[in-house]
Amino acid sequence: MASSHIFLCIVLTIATIVVPSIADPTHYMVGDSDLWRPNVDYVAWAKNKTFKVGDTLWFVYAPENHDVYQVNGSSFGHCLAPPDEAEGFKCESQVRLRTPGNKWFLCSRPGHCAKGQKLMITVINTAQQPSPNNPSAAPPPNMYTFVGFFQFFVSLSLTIIIVLLIPLN
């Protein structure tokens, strides 16, 4: 009887650590403190991030100075933003990543894309694992963040409380 309680506690602890980190979507502020503007290295910004279906990109910018279009790879390479009714579309400031694959974004204001105000990311399915051939889909090097430590601490504390409260008949 006691061994089944301990087994249940171990399963609950593992579930509280693993499940939220897999299921929770991530909200990315594009460029972090640099925001969405020219002369920012968005390749470096995206390099160690794993973008998954369900995640959100948040483009923060002054609408009178910038915009965001999602375009195809060819338009991205040539810094061409099509009209709203064409292939690409003008984005809101938040873009939910709904499908896997490559995604391309740029600013259509004159000269901005040429000055680096463009972003290319690869979105993976949550069930898909990052491959060694795709460095943009690699997990960040430090997996043990404050949130991860806090999550572990809470699960461990709950496990200890459950073990102490369950009678060992």
Q: Provide the residue ranges of all domains of the chain, joining segments of one domain with +.
A: 22-139
In whole angstroms, what is the distance from residue 90 CA to residue 68 CA? 6
CATH of range 22-139; options 2.60.40.420, 3.40.50.300, 1.10.3720.10, 1.10.150.20: 2.60.40.420
Q: What pLDDT does 139 receive?
A: 43
- Rounded to two decimals, the pTM is 0.61
Which residues neighbour 130 within 8 Å (Cβ) at sequence distance 6 or greater? 50, 124, 137, 138, 139
Q: What is the pLDDT of residue 96?
A: 92
First-to-final CA distance of the chain: 7
Task: Return d(Cα 78, Cα 164) in angstroms, integer.
Answer: 64
- Contact between 66 and 112 under an 8 Å Cβ cutoff? The reply is yes
* CB neighbour list of residue 8: distance below 8 Å, 6 or more residues apart: none
Amino acid 49: pLDDT: 94
DSSP state of 107: -
CA distance 25 to 109: 31
Q: How do the pLDDT tens digits run along the chain, 169 residues long?
A: 555 555 555 555 555 555 444 557 889 999 988 999 999 999 999 999 999 999 999 999 888 888 888 999 999 999 988 765 444 456 668 889 999 999 999 999 999 999 999 999 999 987 655 555 544 444 444 333 444 555 666 666 666 666 666 665 5
Q: What pLDDT shows up at residue 142?
A: 39
